[in-house]
């Protein structure tokens, strides 16, 4: 039964027509319209419809930070359509997401659509299911101005920081740079971790392990402490020659392993990275689709709470699938202050559905969510842990063997959480053989292996999210955008590193003799790790030096806490902005006036022939090498290769850069050269350029260059729709967004109703001369 409300909500009236429901996404709209029936029209706003105006600051500093909002250019048609629908509707239901962003979208719709004159209701739901939607309709509320103000405060503060800080970077570091409040702190974490790794000096130690037999049963054991040196390892091994090893102690203890809490946004991002290899943004996109399809609850949350209904539903699924002994209903409490217990953890909307039929990504992520959610309501696993101590006359407890037996699997039947600790070594065996105290064991071999201390690992996206959450920086809605932004801005890049080989010693005692060997391993290999770029390091150092308050972890966490206070009605948002802005603005003015330019300049040495200074620094177009003193009138410059850094490049590598351009030979009677330009390395032939993505311009040969030139020709031929005899520089090409006109270096948009291949020369000239005012001319990149 569908229930609707009069203006004062005092009576429930059935069959009222003309209900307009507005949600953010079209996928969500379609699902909800199916649930509500013919008396409801459900439309999408396609996300935010209004934002701070793009021109200028759009914040009135003299009027208590009053924001100036404008409808986004791409949303004007959406607003126009919604206004027509509002005019015909009796009730408008604002059904955007339940978090601060969703509340702000509802408020902007209310303001933009002028809903003051219309009966308007705000509804929220944690899942897109028929019962949840109908329950929301039965329980409307007003727009929560505290939540709106919290979002407004974040948006205004971030605009103030970006608007005032970015010009400082343009003047003091490099044009076109930008800075953000949370993003800059995330970059700082990555820069500091990188320096920690580069400054780390590994020290070696030895790890002692032993293989023993009781009759035909193998027992693997290890020495409980690391051995400081090779000499000490040899001494211990000598103490093991020609001696008898016995079992000196046996202990067995019961143990319990508890399930992990249900997923929050950050733990879902971390586990999807570890188990599925998903990036943070990929996880959120897939989760969004699952939510909109009605399969999971809202995916931006910091709560681990389940509703009573969800706990009961999980219990039923566990009883049906696994039995009574596996059921252990539990209500988890969120420890984090500011988390909203009214929200739920991420869970399936229907626990009886263990798999969904969608795309591969959706199916795999749903499987992860279902298992984690079900496991959280299951019994702990019951274990028995055994410890056997093994020694000889000289060392009573030289070795320890650990075993673990699962007596009852409990939640492990469904799910086991992954670990982010790259150095974690599990020395626990499964079932150990039966032995008695005093039993004599046969030595198979005892091995002392050289190991090395390691620095903290570089961040992956998920471990960065974990760190941000630990520091109280950011919220569920900001983790993914923050990580995407720092990569898009070129401050951080995700890449692989192959590592280097190193030797290590192995000492093996077997058959009452000790043998020494040297083995080789690769160290420092990284996959999908976050590295700071040169420009990221220079910008970070400049901001830390001059804006230490903004870059301070505790201060950033405090700002997040203040947003939480605003959301709870404990603080006035404009007062919070005022307290932040006044000292910040003075800081900006002082830095513009008194600070030096920052380029990350590093002097490498002198030219072997001329004695000129060789240095590297950040230039207008990125990292570059320079021959000549900064004060010299004549200087030569060369761009660094993509894999090179101003922080690690050597004098010899910098000198090699000045050997470019390299002449590789001739092809079709024209010279072929390899070089580096502002957009990276390339091959040049007959005034045309071919970007080098994998090839090194210092190493590429003529044969490979010709291959790339011919491949580029084939690609260009596929793009070419038409050329003109009247003007060799005029072409109609296929682009990313469809056909477009190119004349010289300028590109022009084609009208929608034309057939590109049929355009004449005169028509093309007319199109070029009569472009819409907002047409963008895209410059050709070499």
φ, ψ of residue 766 to 5 degrees: the values are -65, -40
Query: Which residues are within 8 A (CB) of 184 and not within 5 positions of it... i.e. 6 or more apart?
Result: 539, 540, 543, 550, 551
Question: What CA–CA distance (Å, rounded) separates 371 from 89?
Answer: 43
What's the chain's Rg over C-alpha atoms? 33
Label residue 63 exposed, middle or buried (CB < 10 Å: 0-12, 13-18, 19+). Answer: exposed
Any catalytic annotation for residue 459? no
Question: What CA–CA distance (Å, rounded) separates 53 from 542?
Answer: 29
Question: What CA–CA distance (Å, rounded) separates 321 from 280?
Answer: 32
Map tokens 């934002």 to a residue.
Answer: 51
φ, ψ of residue 211 to 5 degrees: the values are -110, 125
Question: What CA–CA distance (Å, rounded) separates 199 from 222?
Answer: 31
Q: Is 537 helix (H, G, I), strand (E, B) or coil?
A: helix
Question: What CA–CA distance (Å, rounded) separates 378 from 415?
Answer: 10
Cβ distance 136 to 127 under 8 Å?
A: no
Strand partners, 624: 617, 639
- Tokens of residue 321, six digits: 């699938």
DSSP 8-state code for residue 356: -
Cβ distance 292 to 128 under 8 Å?
A: yes
Q: Where are the beta strands (DSSP E) in 479-612?
A: 492-497, 500-510, 513-523, 526-532, 602-606
DSSP 8-state code for residue 245: E
Burial call 309-325: b when 16+ CB within 10 Å, e when fewer = ebbebbbebbeeebeee
Query: What are the residue ranges of helices labelled H in 627-691?
Result: 651-657
Q: Is the dihedral of CA 511, 514, 515, 517 positive or negative?
A: positive
- Tokens of residue 355, six digits: 């798999």
Measured CA distances, 196 to 24, 114, 455, 646 (Å): 43, 55, 7, 17
Q: How far is CA 680 from the centre of its chain?
A: 26
Question: What CA–CA distance (Å, rounded) separates 743 from 741?
Answer: 7
Map tokens 């993505």 to a residue.
Answer: 693
Question: What CA–CA distance (Å, rounded) separates 58 from 160?
Answer: 9
Question: What CA–CA distance (Å, rounded) separates 741 from 701?
Answer: 35
Instruction: Provide the total of helices (H) and of strands (E) in the chain, helices listed first.
Output: 19, 32
Measured CA distances, 356 to 164, 276, 287, 705 (Å): 48, 17, 13, 49
Q: What is the DSSP string of 680-720?
A: EEEEEETTEEEE-SSS-TTT--HHHHHHHHHHHHHHHHHHE
- Tokens of residue 726, six digits: 């009247």
Question: What CA–CA distance (Å, rounded) separates 507 from 234?
Answer: 8
Please state whether the peptide bond connecting residue 140 to the residue before it is cis, i.e. omega within 30 degrees of 0: no
Cβ distance 259 to 527 under 8 Å?
A: no
H or E stretch at 294: none
Q: Which of 38, 520, 432 is nearest to 217 (CA)?
A: 432
Map tokens 């003015």 to a residue.
Answer: 589
Strand partners, 602: 616
Q: Which of 35, 291, 298, 415 is catalytic?
A: 298
Active-site annotation, residues: 298
């Amino acid at each position: 039964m569908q229930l609707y409300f009069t203006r004062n909500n005092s009576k429930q009236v059935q069959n009222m027509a003309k209900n307009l429901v507005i949600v953010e996404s079209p996928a969500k709209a379609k699902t909800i319209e199916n649930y509500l029936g013919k008396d409801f029209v459900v439309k999408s706003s396609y996300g935010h419809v209004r934002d701070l105006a793009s021109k200028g600051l759009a914040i009135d500093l003299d009027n208590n930070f009053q924001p100036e909002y404008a409808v986004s250019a791409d949303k004007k048609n959406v607003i126009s359509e919604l206004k027509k629908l509002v005019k015909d509707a009796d009730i408008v239901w604002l059904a955007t997401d339940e978090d601060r962003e969703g509340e702000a979208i509802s408020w902007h719709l209310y303001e933009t659509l002028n809903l003051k004159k219309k009966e308007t209701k705000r509804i929220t739901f944690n899942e897109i299911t028929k019962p949840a939607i109908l329950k929301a309709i039965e329980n409307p509320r007003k727009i929560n101005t505290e939540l709106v103000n919290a979002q407004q405060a974040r948006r205004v503060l971030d605009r103030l920081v970006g608007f005032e800080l970015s010009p400082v970077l343009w003047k003091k570091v490099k044009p076109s740079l930008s800075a953000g409040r949370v993003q800059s702190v995330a970059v700082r974490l990555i820069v500091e971790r990188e320096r920690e790794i580069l400054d780390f000096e590994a020290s070696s130690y030895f790890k002692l392990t032993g293989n023993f037999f009781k009759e035909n049963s193998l027992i693997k054991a290890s020495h409980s402490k690391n051995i400081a040196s090779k000499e000490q390892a040899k001494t211990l091994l000598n103490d093991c020659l020609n001696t008898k090893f016995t079992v000196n102690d046996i202990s067995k203890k019961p143990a319990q392993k508890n399930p992990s809490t249900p997923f929050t946004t950050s733990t879902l991002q971390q586990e999807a990275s570890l188990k599925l290899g998903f990036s943070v943004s990929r996880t959120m996109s897939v989760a969004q689709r699952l939510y909109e399809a009605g399969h999971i609850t809202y995916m931006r949350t910091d709560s681990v709470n389940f509703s009573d209904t969800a706990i009961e539903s999980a219990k039923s699924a566990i009883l049906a699938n696994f039995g009574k002994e596996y059921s252990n209903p539990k209500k988890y409490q969120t420890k984090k202050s500011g988390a909203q217990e009214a929200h739920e953890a991420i869970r399936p909307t229907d626990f009886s559905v263990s798999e969904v039929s969608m795309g591969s990504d959706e199916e795999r992520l749903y499987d992860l969510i279902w298992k984690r959610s079900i496991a959280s309501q299951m019994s702990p696993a019951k274990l028995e842990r055994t410890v056997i101590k093994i020694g000889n006359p000289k060392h009573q407890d030289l070795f320890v063997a650990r075993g673990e037996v699962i007596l009852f699997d409990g939640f492990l039947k469904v799910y086991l959480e992954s670990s982010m600790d790259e150095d974690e070594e599990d020395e626990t065996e499964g079932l150990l053989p039966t032995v008695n105290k005093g039993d004599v064991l046969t030595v198979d071999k005892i091995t002392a292996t050289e190991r090395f201390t390691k620095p903290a690992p570089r961040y992956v996206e998920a471990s960065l999210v974990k760190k941000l959450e630990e520091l109280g920086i950011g919220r569920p809605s900001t983790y993914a955008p923050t990580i995407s932004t720092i990569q898009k801005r070129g401050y951080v890049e995700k890449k692989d590193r192959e590592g280097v080989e190193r030797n290590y010693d192995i000492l093996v005692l077997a058959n009452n003799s000790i043998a020494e060997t040297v083995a080789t391993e690769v160290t420092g290999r990284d996959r999908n790790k976050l590295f700071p770029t040169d420009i990221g390091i220079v910008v970070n150092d400049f901001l830390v030096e001059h804006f230490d308050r903004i870059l301070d972890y505790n201060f950033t966490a405090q700002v997040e806490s203040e947003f939480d206070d605003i959301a709870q009605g404990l603080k006035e948002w404009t007062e919070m902005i005022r307290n932040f802005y006044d000292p910040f603005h003075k800081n900006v003015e002082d830095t513009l006036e008194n600070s030096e330019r920052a380029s990350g300049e590093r002097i490498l040495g002198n030219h072997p022939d001329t004695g000129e200074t060789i240095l590297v620094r950040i230039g207008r177009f990125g990292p570059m090498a320079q021959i000549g003193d900064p004060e010299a009138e004549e200087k030569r410059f060369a761009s660094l290769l993509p894999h090179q850094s101003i922080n690690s490049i050597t004098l010899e590598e910098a000198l090699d850069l000045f050997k470019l351009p390299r002449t590789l030979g001739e092809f079709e009677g024209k010279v072929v050269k390899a070089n580096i330009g502002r957009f990276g390395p390339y091959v040049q032939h007959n005034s045309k350029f071919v970007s080098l993505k994998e090839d090194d311009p210092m190493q590429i040969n003529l044969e490979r260059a010709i291959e790339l030139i011919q491949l580029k020709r084939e690609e260009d031929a596929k793009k070419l729709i038409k050329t003109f005899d009247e003007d060799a520089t005029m072409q109609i090409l296929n682009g990313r967004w469809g056909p477009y006109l190119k004349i010289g270096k300028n590109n022009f948009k084609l009208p929608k109703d034309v057939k590109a291949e049929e355009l004449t020369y005169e028509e093309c000239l007319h199109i070029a001369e009569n472009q819409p005012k907002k047409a963008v001319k895209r410059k050709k990149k070499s």
